[in-house]
Amino acid sequence: MPNKIKQYQNELKNGVLPRREFIKLAAAAGISSTSLGLLLSSNAHAQTPKRGGRLTVGVESSQQSNSIDPARYYSDSDLLRGFALYDTLVNRGPDLSPTPQLAVSWESNADASKWVFKLRKGVQFHNGKEFGAEDVIYSLQHHLGEKSESPAKAYLSQIKEMKKIDKHTVEFTLTSPNAELPIILSDTRVHMIADGYTDFTTTTNGTGPFKVKEFKPGSTYIFERNPNYWGSEGPYIDEIEYIGIADPTARVNALLSGDIDLMMSLDPKAAHLIERSQNFNLLRAESGMHSGLVMMRDREPTANKNLRMAMKYGIDREMILKNVYKGYGHIGNDHPISSFDPYYNSDIPQRAYDPDKARFYIKKAGMENKSMDLYSSAVTGVGSIPSCEILQETAKAGGVNLNLHKVSADSYWSSVWMQKPMCTTTWPARPIPDLMFSIAYKGDAKWNETVWKNDRFDKLLLQARSETNFDKRKAMYGEMQNMLQQDGGIIIMAFLDTLDAANKKVKGITPHPSGPLGFNQFATTAWIDS
């Protein structure tokens, strides 16, 4: 290993070097993303991974609705399991850049409206079938089909046409140019399934590092090592079991007692405990995942801009970050781009808690001390209700009177979200601003939760997609951020780091900004040091 890297690594450990910078520097030094993962994990000394062993992973929940059908992933644990069973065409590195996976290379035409992907050869599905272009088309069609219930339909529908050029080449034609198609194809749901495979109730047929040994939604999820996996690194573990432990305290206890080796979604309050402990590692990555407060712009009372301003000044972002998330995250500036994102517009001044201004605006809105309903639920993140409690308290000081309703998880998405004027929301990290803006802020987006309709915004969004120059693109996204900050209906309560924890004997996991437990890589790279 080059000395330089070692130095970077020390700086990273001591907190001198931001992680993101480290990744950039490491990449510049020619380190592959997999080895980078090893470097990043805190005990990434020059250890050779060991084969064998059984890994027990504590996940957030275990429900009937858990599925291994890529079109039916609804929880983080589904995504996590998906990455063990399937591969994507394009991998997404910890720096959010696209790297080869089942596609070895890709190129587009000049305006990025037509893409050709070369596929990896010699990849086998779990049942021995060889992977090829028809599987890619089938897998994407699985989301795009008429009867599809898949959320991925939203962003995959920009693929107008798929063509098999030969056994190992596919061509995609887009409805409109998009320079960032590869990173979109690294998304969690774009998993490759074998052509014609339909029944996902108890098993599946993917190419991933693991195959299903037992899958019973709501109770048992055991995967075993795929001996024929194409990759050269990993998988190292013989068997993975996912155990759903919904209660955060019970999950930590299970980790501490050694019943599980790994756990996702560590409560920030317990993170400190893990950090200090001798036997456990905290797995943490800065992430664009955020918890938000939605104010629908098309209905009263939130249609009133003064009211929205009052809310934006009535929220104490710092306090929420400190008290609820214990500092494991970042504050936002009323738009969904985080401060460490390359596209972040740092020219916009950070809005801060100011009860006087809040009072000024609420008076202007004529809503001073009038009670307004605010809805939240644990499904928008465990921190959202406590955040709302803090918001309630801080807003009160500005004369904004909020009436908090806690809604049970089962009816939140169907009867509150996008219906009640003020409610909480959560969004996982998107690798590029385009994805975030397209899914929730584009005028005609299905999940335009704040009802943000702005022609200029939509136009900029399209322009940025085909813009290949980074600085120009950044300027466009910067303007869009400004619009949302000034007039939007969203308040980012906090950007949240991914927080997971692992027993020290588990190695090889690189925290990933896009999701829990190293997101797409952990099943392949994790190993047990016995």
Partner 1 sequence: MRNIQSKSSPFRDLLQNLTPTAIICLSILIILIVLAIAAPWVSPYQPTEILTDESYHLMSDSMLLGGDYLGRDIASRLIYGLQITLGVTFVVTVLAFFTGCLLGFLAAVLGGIFDTLLSRVIDALIALPAIMIALIVIASLGSSLPVLIVTLALIDSTRVFRIARALAMNIVASDYVEAARVRGEGLKWIIWHEILPNALGPLAAEFGIRFTYTILFMSALGFLGLGMQPPHADLGLLIRENMQGLLFGSYAPLYPALAISLITITINIFIDWYLQQLDSALPSEF
Partner 2 sequence: MDLPLIVIRRMAIGVVTVLVVSLLVFAGTELLPGDVAQAILGPGATPESIANIRARLGLDQAAHIRYMHWFGNLLHGDMGTSLVSGREISVLIAERSSNTFLLAGVTALVAVPLSVLLGLIASTRPNGRIDKTISAITLTLISIPDFLVAVILVSIFSVQLGWLPALSTIRPDSNFLELARMLVLPVTALSFTVIAHMARMTRTAVLNELTSPAIEMAILKGVPKSRLLLVHALSNAIAPIVNVIALNLAYLISGVVVIETLFNINGLGKLMVDAVTTRDIPLVQGCAMLFCAVYVLLNLFADTISIVANPRIRHPK
- Footprint on this chain of partner 2 (rule: CB under 8 A): 62-67, 74, 146-151, 153, 201-202, 216-220, 243-247, 249-250, 253-254, 256-260, 408-411, 413-415, 417-418, 447
Question: In a 10 Å sphere around its CB, with 0-12 CB exposed, 13-18 middle and 19+ buried, how is residue 27 labelled?
Answer: middle
What is the maximum span of the chain, computed from C-alpha positions, in angstroms? 69
> Hunting for tokens 């050694």 — which residue is that?
258
CA separation for the pair 382, 267 (Å, rounded): 8
> Exactly one of 84, 263, 289, 324 binds partner 1 (CB under 8 A); which one?
324
- Under the criterion CB under 8 A, does residue 499 sit at the interface with partner 1? no
- Under the criterion CB under 8 A, does residue 111 sit at the interface with partner 1? no
Which range touches partner 1 (CB under 8 A), out of 128-136, 194-202, 378-386, 451-459?
378-386
Alpha helix positions (H), 299-454: 305-314, 317-319, 355-364, 384-397, 409-415, 433-440
286-315 per-residue burial string, b: 16 or more CB within 10 A, e: under 16: bbbbbbbbbbbbeeebbebbbbbbbbbbbb
What's the min distance (Å) between Cβ of 201 and partner 2? 5
Which range touches partner 1 (CB under 8 A), out of 96-104, 224-232, 262-270, 507-515?
262-270
Q: Which does 217 bind (CB under 5 to 8 A by kind): partner 1, partner 2, none?
A: partner 2
At residue 493's C-alpha, the angle toward residues 386 and 17, to 5°, is 110
Listing DSSP states for 357-393 in one string gives: HHHHHHHHTT-TT-EEEEEE-GGG-TTHHHHHHHHHH
Nearer to partner 1, 90 or 331 (CB): 331
Which range touches partner 1 (CB under 8 A), out of 73-81, 228-236, 402-410, 516-524?
402-410
At residue 418's C-alpha, the angle toward residues 414 and 424, to 5°, is 95
Tally helices (H) and strands (E) across the chain: 18, 21
CA separation for the pair 71, 9 (Å, rounded): 39
What's the min distance (Å) between Cβ of 308 and partner 1? 23
DSSP state of 310: H
Q: Which does 231 bind (CB under 5 to 8 A by kind): partner 1, partner 2, none?
A: none
What's the min distance (Å) between Cβ of 247 and partner 1? 8
Question: Within a 10 A sphere around the Cβ of 105, how many other Cβ atoms?
Answer: 10
> Exactly one of 116, 144, 404, 475 binds partner 1 (CB under 8 A); which one?
404
What's the min distance (Å) between Cβ of 221 and partner 2? 11
- Under the criterion CB under 8 A, does residue 502 sit at the interface with partner 1? no
Closest CA to 91 of 46, 163, 37: 37
What's the min distance (Å) between Cβ of 393 and partner 1? 5
> Hunting for tokens 């529908």 — which residue is that?
157
Q: Which does 64 bind (CB under 5 to 8 A by kind): partner 1, partner 2, none?
A: partner 2
Q: Which does 6 bind (CB under 5 to 8 A by kind): partner 2, partner 1, none?
A: none
323-357 per-residue burial string, b: 16 or more CB within 10 A, e: under 16: bbbbebbbbbbbbbbbebbebbbeebeebebebeb
Which range touches partner 1 (CB under 8 A), out of 75-83, 136-144, 298-306, 408-416?
408-416
Closest CA to 335 of 437, 445, 481: 481
Q: Which does 165 bind (CB under 5 to 8 A by kind): partner 1, partner 2, none?
A: none
Amino acid in the structure at residue 158: Q
> Exactly one of 102, 137, 270, 395 binds partner 1 (CB under 8 A); which one?
270
What's the min distance (Å) between Cβ of 492 and partner 1? 19
Listing DSSP states for 500-528 in one string gives: EEEETTEE----BTTBSTTTTSHHHH-EE
- Under the criterion CB under 8 A, does residue 393 sit at the interface with partner 1? yes
> Exactly one of 388, 476, 496, 506 binds partner 1 (CB under 8 A); which one?
388
- Under the criterion CB under 8 A, does residue 385 sit at the interface with partner 1? yes
Which regions of 141-263 does DSSP assign to beta strands (E)? Answer: 159-166, 169-174, 210-216, 220-225, 239-244, 262-263
> Exactly one of 35, 97, 203, 392 binds partner 1 (CB under 8 A); which one?
392
- Under the criterion CB under 8 A, does residue 248 sit at the interface with partner 1? yes
CA separation for the pair 73, 71 (Å, rounded): 6
Per-position x/- string for 280-319, each x denoting binding to partner 1 as judged by CB under 8 A, each - no binding = ---------------------------------------x
Q: Which does 201 bind (CB under 5 to 8 A by kind): partner 2, partner 1, none?
A: partner 2
> Exactly one of 61, 148, 150, 323 binds partner 1 (CB under 8 A); which one?
323
CA separation for the pair 485, 193 (Å, rounded): 41
Q: Which does 162 bind (CB under 5 to 8 A by kind): partner 1, partner 2, none?
A: none
Q: Which does 146 bind (CB under 5 to 8 A by kind): partner 1, partner 2, none?
A: partner 2
CA separation for the pair 387, 317 (Å, rounded): 9
What's the min distance (Å) between Cβ of 147 and partner 2? 6
Q: Which does 16 bind (CB under 5 to 8 A by kind): partner 2, partner 1, none?
A: none
- Under the criterion CB under 8 A, does residue 326 sit at the interface with partner 1? yes
What's the min distance (Å) between Cβ of 70 and partner 1? 29
DSSP state of 350: P
In the three-class reduction of DSSP (H, G, I as helix; E, B as strand; rest coil), residue 295 is classed as: strand
Q: Which residues bind partner 1 (CB under 8 A)?
A: 248-249, 252-253, 256, 267, 269-270, 273, 319, 322-324, 326, 378, 385-386, 388-390, 392-393, 404-411, 415
